[in-house]
Amino acid sequence: MASASPRPSHRRSLRKRRTVVITAAVAAAGLGAGVLVMNANAGAVDLYHQSLPAKDGWAASGSGTTGGSKADSAHTYTVSTRAQLVKALGSVTDTTPRIIKVKGTIDANTNDAGKKLSCADYASGTGYSLSAYLKAFDPATYGSKAPAGAQEKAREAAEAKQKKNIVFRVPSNTTIVGVPGSNAGIRGGSLQVQNVKNVIVRNLTFADTQDCFPQWDPTDGSSGEWNSNYDSVTLRGATNVWADHNTFTDAPTFDKSEATYFGRKYQVHDGALDITNGSDLVTVERNLFSNHDKTMLIGSSDTDSTGKLRVTIHHNVWKGIVQRAPLARIGQIHLYNNLYDTATLNGYAPKYSIDSRAKAQVVAEHNAWKLPSGAKPAKLLSGDGTGSIAGGGNLVNGTTTDLVAAYNAASSKKIKTTVNWKPALTAGLQTSAKNLLTELTGTTGAGVLS
């Protein structure tokens, strides 16, 4: 298998130059230390025009991923409000290269004048109220059929109002980058990268993307579930996408603070970064995923898109994650040099890390897991009996561990150990995971690029 030098690759904004690393505190709960990476040579590196380096995962395939690097000055924007972001994105059908610099934190739940909007504002005029909804769908009287009726229609109307406000559709040939040192990010919003290509998203904190109006579905599982909309970033039918040095978190609204209705958690959060509906050629690197339940879904269903869903996931930190890191279906997924800290954080207790199902072809190599006392390696994987996970060199608490063997020994639905492809786009692959805990802690996520 092709590999680059085992030297850690903190090179996103460095272009092989010498670096100075300055440690700083990160404000977000449970995220640990952050690092501000600065160029030791004269002049700042231009983050905004950078393209994905050659061979850096699946998104380097074909013509690569350049985002808005060719944008002219007329299509280069600095935005600090929701209204400015909407204007900079423009029409999703306009493929003119554009660069959007996000300065500060944008609150998606605001109107065009910047006034804060609440769930009550979205519900106003629709006839929806949570109390009426709970009364209408109480399982004791409504039963277990799919939700329908006046209150469900009212919920859908209120949801549509919120969706219009918080979903930001990204055109092709776009780079969205957080301005260094500005605490750049989007709170409560959802970037939708749908049926477009060549998009770069970097250096942003995506926090607390909430659905004000979760739907009760009595038919979901044996006891029903509350289901929400809106991933922080969602890729649907998207091609050539690079997500780099972002932070994804539910903070400050952790799931443990949510109420329970009908015996199930009232879940207002959906995915962090989901890659579905035939999306293809995606590289996800040096992101921090923290304080979240259903984190990354690859493939929307067992019948998504054969021949697509090719995703590279490397040098990310997963901390306080319950599941789906990732859940993979159908595609060819390469996971390398990721760090998984499976200690319970802010109430987020782990179920599993990687799920390979629906004939997914996963190669997981040289990743590191940090397990608390008593946790079992057999619980790190999941599957339906049709998926594969190949690769080796994975460490659990510093010890090389065959994760598939541990899982298969404890499960009737065996994970296969051979795949139908061999990774070739492996820039930055380190052939040892032993130093990932120290190397990645504080060098991933938003706020470390300059």
Cβ atoms within 10 Å, residue 99: 25
Selected catalytic residue, list 98, 155, 187, 324: 324
Report the amino acid identity of residue 57.
Answer: G
C-alpha dist (Å) from residue 52 to 48, 243, 244, 338, 368: 12, 10, 9, 19, 25
Catalytic, 324? Answer yes
Exposed / middle / buried, residue 380 (Cβ in 10 Å: 0-12, 13-18, 19+): buried
**φ, ψ (nearest 5 deg) of residue 405:** -60, -40
Active site residues: 324
